[in-house]
Amino acid sequence: MIIILIQALVLYAVSWLFWRTFFAKSALANIPGPAPKSLWKGAFPQVFNVNAWDFHREMAEKYGSVIKIKALFGENQLYVFDPKAMHHIIVKDQHIYEETSAFLEGNKLIFGHGLLSTLDEQHRKQRKMLNPVFSIAHMRGMNAFTAKVNDGPQEIDVLSWMTRTALELIGQSGLGYSFDSLTEGGIPHPYSTSTKQLIPSTFKFFFLRTYFLSTLFRRFVVDLLPWKSLHDLRDIIDVLHNTSVEIFESKKKALKEGDEAVATQIGQGKDILSILMRANMRASKEDSLTQEELLAQMSTLTFAATDTTSSALSRTLLLLATHQHVQDKLREEIRQARKQHNSDLDYDDLVSLPYLDASAEKALGCQYPPVSFVSRTTRQDVVLPLSKPIKGIDGQEIHEIPIPNNTNVVVGILEANRNPDIWGPDSHEWKPERWLNPLPDTVAAAHVPGIYSHLMTFIGGGRACIGFKFSQLEMKVVLSLLIDSFRFSPSDKEIFWQMNAISSPTLAKLRTDTHSQLPLIVERAA
């Protein structure tokens, strides 16, 4: 069986090389970009690896906002953060620039037929069903973080707590289910551990997923191959799936038994999943989702709400730990607001705190978005216009780029968010004050197609993050509680952030390890 797989891969590679070398000539050949270091993988390993932060920045500074990336056997891909080009990719021509086949199939294997693995009418139907229930109104009144520190400063793995907290928040408000009591010494739910292991584990296979997913990543093939990393990934996915099935079946049983049974569950039927299931029961046959789709939505939204939010919260706490004056100013704002309202801060109070908004959301998203890039594939030949011309390899100015069908286009979220042409020469600096003053005229003039604050953090168009308001409020709830009560400082351990599909921290000495962690010194705030 293994020999057959190897023969298939070799045949595919040789065929691809022959076609690309002798038949596939395009205008992309004239786009500047980094020289490939490998005939086999091109510049792929330089662009997509956990230590690629400096490479992305240097690539953007050297080549500008449209860059050619050489991939498998010389295949041309584009890396883009030009505002006008992004508008066409993400919004205007989004039906042409669809998710890559590897992304869709990979998410289908992990989560099922959910928002991250569907296209066209099926995707629109799912968003139509989810949009009304995925509302920040369902976050009102949530206040769930009870972890305590002992007397005196101590080192705590903040990432572990943020993951447990984010999972519990989406568990209670999204699923009507409690994963974790959030008590000191409590054992994290296996779902929490698996969530933080999933992206680092899948990123190990990024190249193989991109080109050989349909051959390699099948259950019977995975079981046969003597490959520990692949088996670990399989086991992680099993934990996520089995947990989702257990929760879904419990919810379905309660709904069938009636209001009395629902009332005994966490959330009392007001959670997102219960609302979604009721809405699905009332929907027409054309608009309703299958049980498989409902289960996939549940798995997709739970994972997305946990991993990206815990990453963003952890990064924010690390930044506050290394910028004590910002932490002090934020704590003062929170305490003044509590004093003014003489109570815990509700939804309206939280969203009206300007420094919390600036430091927790906008400044973070600008310099450190949890997702650094997304990929799209053209589904037909298309012309991509640019905000400003680039100079081709032949020395001629290029104002628009003809892109062939089936070309991968990487949207550089990180580079778009810190583009000095838009944000100015200090665009790489984390400055919450930036958002408390009028932004440069270039920001509004750029017409960045992101759905939030001229940033691409939550993307835009029909595949924008459906839960971005939920995520924003979740972060503010947690930070307002933590910063009021605790002071965070750096530990003596050097931290390295891996540039995975979703960035994750680990110890610098373990920078390629899949065990994510963020040790910080935590003490009670005076």
CB atoms within 10 A of CB 471: 25
Q: Are 196 and 208 in contact (CB under 8 A)?
A: no
CA nearest to 416, candidates 430, 402, 428: 428
CA nearest to 373, candidates 211, 184, 206: 206
101-111 vs 190-203: helix crossing angle, rounded to 10: 160
CB atoms within 10 A of CB 186: 12
Q: What is the DSSP string of 344-358?
A: ---HHHHHT-HHHHI
Q: Which residue has the tokens 């698996």?
A: 194
- Residue 213 has a pLDDT of 59
- Residue 489 has a pLDDT of 96
Q: Which residue has the tokens 């009721």?
A: 278
C-alpha gyration radius of the chain:
23
Amino acid identity of residue 422, one-letter, is: I
CA nearest to 478, candidates 361, 341, 325: 361
Using CB atoms within 10 Å of the CB of residue 494, give its burial: 0 to 12 exposed, 13 to 18 middle, 19+ buried: exposed
Angle at the Cα of 504 from the Cα atoms of 503 and 506, rounded to 5 degrees: 145
Return d(Cα 310, Cα 312) in angstroms, integer.
5
Query: Residue 427: enclosing H or E segment and its boundaries?
Result: none
Token output for 276: 């979604």
Token output for 446: 């750029």
- Residue 139 has a pLDDT of 36
Amino acid identity of residue 46, one-letter, is: Q
How many residues are recorded in the chain?
526
Q: Are 52 and 16 in contact (CB under 8 A)?
A: no
The tens place of each residue's pLDDT in the chain, 526 residues long, gives 555 555 555 565 556 545 554 455 678 999 999 999 888 899 999 999 999 999 999 999 999 999 999 998 889 999 999 999 999 999 999 999 998 877 667 666 666 665 555 555 654 644 454 444 334 343 333 333 334 455 678 888 999 888 888 888 888 777 778 888 777 667 788 988 888 888 888 888 877 777 765 556 677 777 888 888 888 889 998 998 898 888 888 888 877 777 665 555 655 566 777 777 777 777 787 777 788 877 877 787 788 888 888 999 999 999 999 999 999 999 999 999 989 987 777 777 888 899 999 987 776 777 899 999 999 999 999 999 999 999 999 999 999 999 999 999 999 999 999 999 999 999 999 999 999 999 999 999 999 999 988 999 999 998 888 777 778 878 888 898 889 888 999 999 999 999 999 999 999 988 777 789 999 999 888 8
- Residue 146 has a pLDDT of 36
Q: What is the DSSP string of 285-311?
A: TTTPPPHHHHHHHHHHHHHHHHHHHHH
Using CB atoms within 10 Å of the CB of residue 97, give its burial: 0 to 12 exposed, 13 to 18 middle, 19+ buried: buried
Amino acid identity of residue 373, one-letter, is: F
- Residue 269 has a pLDDT of 63
Return d(Cα 205, Cα 347) in angstroms, integer.
41
Q: Are 389 and 399 in contact (CB under 8 A)?
A: yes
- Residue 132 has a pLDDT of 41
Q: CA 419 → CA 61, 292, 454, distances in Å?
A: 10, 41, 11
Instruction: Note the pLDDT tens digit of each residue in 411-446.
Output: 999 999 999 999 999 999 999 999 999 999 999 999
DSSP state of 509: G
